[in-house]
Amino acid sequence: MSGFKITSKIDDNMKTRLQIDGAMDEHSDYSSIETKFTDEVVFDFDNVEHINSTGIKHWVQWVASIHEANPNLKFFFVNCPKPIVDQINMVDGFLPEGSIVKSFKVPYFCEVCDKDITTTFVLGREYNIVDGKVKLEVPDNTCDRGDCEMEPDVVEQKYFKFLK
């Protein structure tokens, strides 16, 4: 069993917030999730362990049904780890039309220290939407040693594709 769970609450800004935990796979049962939606919903992927093709299929069907039942609902996505960003880039319908990704994770690697870290990119900090176009600034990261530099451990043209 995957330990899949979605917790629903209304946050301080009166937005529906859905915290997704565990694995998004063949054991993920979205039909059992009952929630009342405000005018905005925030999906938080911070605790997603992994996602597979069956989990993707179930997810796309579920968010499409939410979108159909609530056509004016605004969708926001936060704390998207690399496996989720990969699906956003590859799978039509993973994000409903008009969705906004407010934060996502970017893996970094240092060849000198052989060290991995993950940096969270946040809308308004590392990237902005100006006149309908995304402006992205990929920050440099330094290792603990301070004399070497970490670089994004992704193919930037592919990984940041969803921002365009």
Confidence of residue 60 (pLDDT cuts 50, 70, 90): very high
Structural contact between residues 49 and 23, judged by C-beta atoms closer than 8 angstroms? yes
Pick the more confident residue, 79 or 98: 79
Where does CATH 3.30.750.24 sit in the chain? Answer: 1-101
* Residue 145 neighbours by CB distance under 10 Å: 10
Q: Does residue 162 have a pLDDT over 60?
A: yes
**What pLDDT, on the 0 to 100 scale, is given for residue 2?**
55
Locate tokens 């930037």: which residue? 156
Distance, CA of 7 to CA of 136 (rounded, Å)? 31
Average pLDDT score over residue span 1-10? 80
| Average pLDDT of the chain, as a whole number | 91
Question: What are the residue ranges of helices labelled H in the chain?
Answer: 53-69, 82-90, 156-159
Q: pLDDT > 70: what percent of the chain?
A: 99
Confidence of residue 128 (pLDDT cuts 50, 70, 90): very high
Q: Does residue 75 have a pLDDT over 90?
A: yes
Average pLDDT score over residue span 39-61? 94
Q: pLDDT > 90: what percent of the chain?
A: 67
Q: Does residue 104 have a pLDDT over 50?
A: yes
Between 32-41, 72-81, 152-161, the lowest mean confidence (pLDDT) is in 32-41
**What pLDDT, on the 0 to 100 scale, is given for residue 116?**
92
1-101 CATH choice from 3.40.50.10380, 3.40.50.360, 3.30.750.24, 3.30.930.10: 3.30.750.24
Distance, CA of 162 to CA of 128 (rounded, Å)? 13
Q: Does residue 1 have a pLDDT over 80?
A: no
